[in-house]
Amino acid sequence: MSLNKSNNWSIALVMLLSIALCIGIGLSVGSSGLESLQNAWHDEVAWQIIWDIRLPRTLGALAAGALLGLAGALTQGLFRNPLADPYLLGSASGATLGVALALAFFDGNQLATEVLVRVGLTGAAFVGALLAVVLTLVLAKGVQHTMRLLLAGVIVGVVMGAMASLISLMRPDILQNMQGFLLGSTAFIGWSACLVMACFLIPCLCFAWFFGFAMDALSLGESTAVSLGVPLRAMRMVIVLLVALATGTAVAQTGLIAFVGLAAPHLVRSIASVKSGSLALLSALMGGLLLLLADILARSLIAPQELPVGVLTAVLGGGYLLWLMYRNQNQGALR
């Protein structure tokens, strides 16, 4: 028991050191390269580049990845399926629809533009994500049956995604802005976005740790969890709320980032055997590290231009899952 805890602390320390290293690299990557970092203390422009652009972008990528990693661990625990994705409850499609509606109805006249600036596309995406999860809960008639909840989430995701596509076809002038949201980007994250994500991340982590025992009991089966005194309905409702808040906050600030929430818990399980509470915390660290690495690669691979970070995570995450499937098939054949 103590050895397992010691191993978990070692893994967390290694990830924290890796995150610190990536933050340092993130401050050095940009159109002006290391020059801005070297001259930051005596050059006002260089300091502004580091403080107002690179640092919030780097920390924002860390926070968004941590939110997605945490949401992925909670979703997989809720559905007891390692292939469950935090977008399964319809939050991604709801956020996309919210952005499409905001662009379609508010873009074009002066009064509406002022509203759009005040509320922001991030607010529209966040509200859309939460409404999608609420609609999923209504269609599933609560959280009593996880399979019904899963099917309702898939239906809501498909319908809202189709509605967002229809709005984009009716208003082709919003396609460019929609494309930026769908591809995912950390380029526009500022200090306010970092603050918002931190305000949601910290309580979500605390609740995830607090419900670790209940998640462990649920992993043994619903009947076992009930026999251990776990209030399944209340626990599921809290987990769904945490997943909705975490994914909605991340997607609202960065757009759609693929595979981070799915891959982070897998990577943690591949290097450690942990309980649900520790898995949630380590998955948050792993998710932050993954998105940090993806953001650095997106800025540096074709510098001075940038790749959409969502596309990069999709390619790398898809490749990882294909390799994982291939490895599992080979191990099964050997057995």
Sign of the torsion angle spanned by Cα atoms 255, 165, 101, 140: negative
Long-range contact pairs involving 312-319 (C-beta distance under 8 Å, separation at least 24): 313/184, 313/257, 313/258, 313/259, 313/260, 314/258, 314/259, 316/259, 317/258, 317/259, 317/260, 317/262, 317/263, 318/259
- pLDDT number for residue 158: 92
CA 99 – CA 77 distance, rounded (Å): 29
Query: Is residue 115 predicted with pLDDT exceeding 60?
Result: no
- pLDDT number for residue 334: 47
What is Dmax (Cα atoms) for the chain?
Answer: 67
Judged by DSSP in three states, 161 sits in helix
Total-model pTM:
0.89
Query: Is residue 181 predicted with pLDDT exceeding 90?
Result: no
The pLDDT of 89-109, averaged and rounded, is 83
The pLDDT of 295-314, averaged and rounded, is 87
- Identify whether the C-beta of residue 130 lies closer than 8 Å to the C-beta of residue 208: no
Q: CATH code for 2-334?
A: 1.10.3470.10
Cα–Cα distance list, 283 to 155, 205, 222, 241, 312 (Å): 27, 10, 24, 18, 19
Judged by DSSP in three states, 307 sits in coil
pLDDT band at 110 (very low <50, low <70, confident <90, very high): very low
Question: 259: closest CA among 207, 209, 306, 322?
Answer: 322
CA 177 – CA 93 distance, rounded (Å): 16
Model pLDDT for residues 247-288, shown as the tens digit of each residue: 999 998 998 998 899 989 988 988 888 888 899 999 999 999
Show the tokens assigned to 250: 């991340």
Which of 37-41, 91-95, 160-164, 262-266 bottoms out in mean pLDDT, i.e. has the lowest? 37-41
Q: Is the previous residue joined to 82 through a cis bond, with omega within 30 degrees of 0?
A: no
Model pLDDT for residues 1-23, shown as the tens digit of each residue: 444 566 778 889 999 999 999 99
Residue that is written with structure tokens 């982590």 in the block: 205
